[in-house]
Amino acid sequence: MEFPVSRYRNLTVLLLVILAQLLLLGYQVRTNQDVRLIRVWAITAVTPTARLLEAGRSNTVGVLENYFLLVGVRERNRQLEAELGKLKLENQYLKSELATADRARALNAFQSRSPSRTIAARIIGTGTGTNSKVVFVDRGSTSGVLHGMAVITPDGIVGKVLAVYPTASQVMLITDPSFAAGVVSQKNLVHGTLKGQGHSTCLVDYVQNEEKVEQGELFFTSGDDRVFPKGLPVGAANVVRAGRTFKEIYIVPSGFQSGLEEVLIVLEGVHQQLPAAQASAQAAPLLPRPPETPADAAAQKTQTPLVLNTDADRMREQYKRIGEAQGHVFGGPGTPNFNIKPPAQPKPVQKPAGNAPEGSPEKPPENPVEGPPPTRP
């Protein structure tokens, strides 16, 4: 008698293999833990090869290009058209080299002036799957990279470290549908949650319809997620419209603007102020308190420094001081000596308007010019 298992051997094995993978999947989803060993094997096998390929490509492309250009130089002597083509190629190559150098310089400059401690990394591969929004970088645990660290460029945030291996790390880009981060708008300080959409734009979710967000307004990281330091640029609002419950705000990530070859991994993040917040930190000059009595009003009027807006105003003030210095009353007999240099007027003492404590005695201003008070001619 034949057992059903041996009769349906193929189907049985298929079901067993699928069942094993389902159990593996269930274990990971239920415990929220990864089966690290398999991933380490696969990544240790693939990423060094990708790294070698990338190193070989970046080193040999330049040599090969130069070689072919030299061949082109010989050809140029014979054929003018070939010269034009080669020069175009050279121009294109130099442009790309210049762009690479600019990018590297910008990365170094940003790294040196950023308060956060960062480490530069190069992207060496992408994740598998047609909708994958993960990349591999050539820095791993041996470089001090840890799970959950922020990945940025000088232009903005790029993603966060999803998994760390000895020689490489997996980075989830902000365009991945499962990505989320706290953001805040620059102008109106509206807080929201940045979510990837699987394509080039991201959604800022959980912003009430009543909140005010303008099209083109910049968004920065808010630091609420404890992954990205506050104050890193995220992107500008491309589409802003009211939704059913929350606003629909789509932003174009600014971190990918200059291409994605080199990135910075934030080893120790330091929160920064938003650019708008820095500007508003300079307190606007406050007006003095309103006078309570007419005498206060008169006193406040004398305290008010004279604003000399025109040349006539300045000349009038100069003559006034000359007259006061010589005890001359304009309109009276005689003429003052206009050639003497009038005494310099002491600068009015700037008092912090409105910041004086209640009930503090306010000193009357010192008379800048000695002598009798001037009389109006």
> Does 172 participate in binding another protein (rule CB under 8 A)?
yes
Question: Which CB atom, from 195 or from 321, has the smaller least distance to another protein?
Answer: 195
CA gap 173, 196 in Å, rounded: 8
Question: Which CB atom, from 127 or from 365, has the smaller least distance to another protein?
Answer: 127
> What is the end-to-end Cα distance of the chain in Å, rounded?
134
Question: Which CB atom, from 35 or from 98, has the smaller least distance to another protein?
Answer: 35
**The binder of another protein chosen from 39, 212, 226, 314 (CB under 8 A):** 39
55 φ/ψ angles, rounded to the nearest 5 degrees: -65, -45
List, in sequence order, every residue forming a beta bridge with 169; answer none if it has no partner. 137, 164
> Does 257 participate in binding another protein (rule CB under 8 A)?
no
Residue environment code for 102-113, b if the CB has 16+ CB neighbours within 10 A, otherwise e: ebeeebeeeeee
Please, are residues 199 and 184 in contact by the beta-carbon 8 Å criterion?
no
> Does 18 participate in binding another protein (rule CB under 8 A)?
yes
> Does 4 participate in binding another protein (rule CB under 8 A)?
no
Size of the site for another protein (CB under 8 A): 46
Instruction: Tell me which residues in 184-243 interact with another protein (CB under 8 A).
Output: 198
List, in sequence order, every residue forming a beta bridge with 353; answer none if it has no partner. none
Residue environment code for 284-304, b if the CB has 16+ CB neighbours within 10 A, otherwise e: eeeeeeeeeeeeeeeeeeeee
Please, are residues 123 and 248 in contact by the beta-carbon 8 Å criterion?
no
Question: Which CB atom, from 44 or from 66, has the smaller least distance to another protein?
Answer: 44
Piece in contact with another protein (CB under 8 A), picked from 134-142, 221-229, 295-303, 327-335 = 134-142
> Does 274 participate in binding another protein (rule CB under 8 A)?
no
Q: Which residues bind another protein (CB under 8 A)?
A: 9-10, 13-14, 17-18, 21-22, 24-25, 28-29, 34-35, 38-39, 41-43, 45-46, 49-50, 53-54, 123-132, 134-136, 162-163, 170, 172, 176-178, 198
